Amino acid sequence: MELWQELLRQSIDTAEDFAEVFGVDKDLMRKIIERYPARINPYYLSLIRYKGDPIWLQCFPDIKELEDEAMPEDPLDEDAMSPVPSITHRYPDRVLFLVTSQCSMYCRFCTRKRKVGDSSKINMKFIQDGIEYIRNHPEVRDVILSGGDPLMLTDYMLEKIIKALREIPHVEIIRIGTKMPCVLPQRITENLCNMLKKYHPIYVNTHFNHPWEITPESKRACEMLADAGIPVGNQTVLLRGVNDDPYVMQELMKKLLAIRVRPYYIYQADITRGANHFRTPIKVGIEIMDKLRGHISGLAVPYYVIDAPGGGGKIPILPQYVIAHNENEIIVRNFKYEIYVYPDVKEDEIEEIRYEPKPTAEKRKIIERKKWLVE
């Protein structure tokens, strides 16, 4: 048994565990966990500094999860876009492929709270059906493995799935969406990296939400993936009480770059039943973006997006940099709120640019002779 599997076995995941470790009401914990499974592995537990801190809020069951029954269970309409149970096909050329329902730590804000932790939601038949669906749809060139967390699978099982996808000629890109580098970095092993290297191009998107999650262990995990030739991106969720502060986000984004992880998205938290208490006003996200662009390296600035309810896809939200725009000029402001006027160009004023082939040696001699005659 590998270290990460041993740590998983030591996780807190029952009402009795929570009552014993934290001294909380066992019946209350049972009430929450029966609806939304909980698991905190020893590594992620060690990152908690005090009750109610940004790490605690992400992993500790809260009675608020049972208080927003009016919210939708499936806000992104994933189930309606699932031709087979393991596939969500929302965009033309790519699919989300759910290969497990299990996670090493159950985030309390998860948009798939209706599915995670329930082993009946994903099984081997569903996985095989997903591979067959991808094989029969040549427009699919990009497959994102998700779940649950795909790295909850053993190396052997994960390789079986990736190998089957690589044998489909039209699948060009394989992505893995995993929180393991953040919540259980011991899962990133030399064996795993060596296996993944055989199936390039492989991309990993991981999920850090707070600077405290960047530790020597998570740094090592992300750098191992990068050393294996696997680009690593990060998808942060904007969460009330966790990272809804521009300077916390600045620190997080800078620290991610330092461990060779490229910030990719900041998500507005989805309107999900059991997670509505994490949502922030959209103006908070816009203010955060305003304090990132120009204030830190452009490499560290992600897109702020809303995943549109009803399956509309990701929509970028930007601060307002354009103050006015007419046919002659555009008035803009920069990150310091300094105002600039930039002259625009009218379509009918643009001269047609014609392609001039490279002159032959003979033509170059004639040109040079003309220059000499003029001089």
State the catalytic residues: 90-91, 94, 103, 107, 110, 112, 270, 307, 314
Residue 169 near residue 134, CB atoms below 8 Å: no
110 is in an annotated binding site: yes
107 is in an annotated binding site: yes
Q: E-strand spans in the chain?
A: 87-91, 94-98, 142-146, 173-177, 202-206, 232-238, 262-268, 303-308, 313-316, 322-325, 329-333, 339-343
Residues counted in the chain: 375
Cα atoms found within 13 Å of the Cα of residue 122, Cβ hemisphere only: 26
Q: Are 57 and 242 in contact (CB under 8 A)?
A: yes
- Residues facing residue 316 across a β-bridge: 305
222 is in an annotated binding site: no
Coil, strand or helix at 307: strand
Q: Which runs of E-coded beta strand occur in 121-220?
A: 142-146, 173-177, 202-206
| CB atoms near residue 133 (< 10 Å) | 18
Phi, psi of 108 (to 5 degrees): -75, -10
Under 8 Å between Cβ of 173 and 142: yes
Query: Do 109 and 278 meet the contact criterion of CB atoms below 8 Å apart?
Result: yes
For residue 125, give Cα distances in angstroms to 71, 84, 150: 31, 10, 16
d(CA 335, CA 81): 40
Binding-site members are 103, 107, 110
Binding-site members for [4Fe-4S] cluster are 103, 107, 110
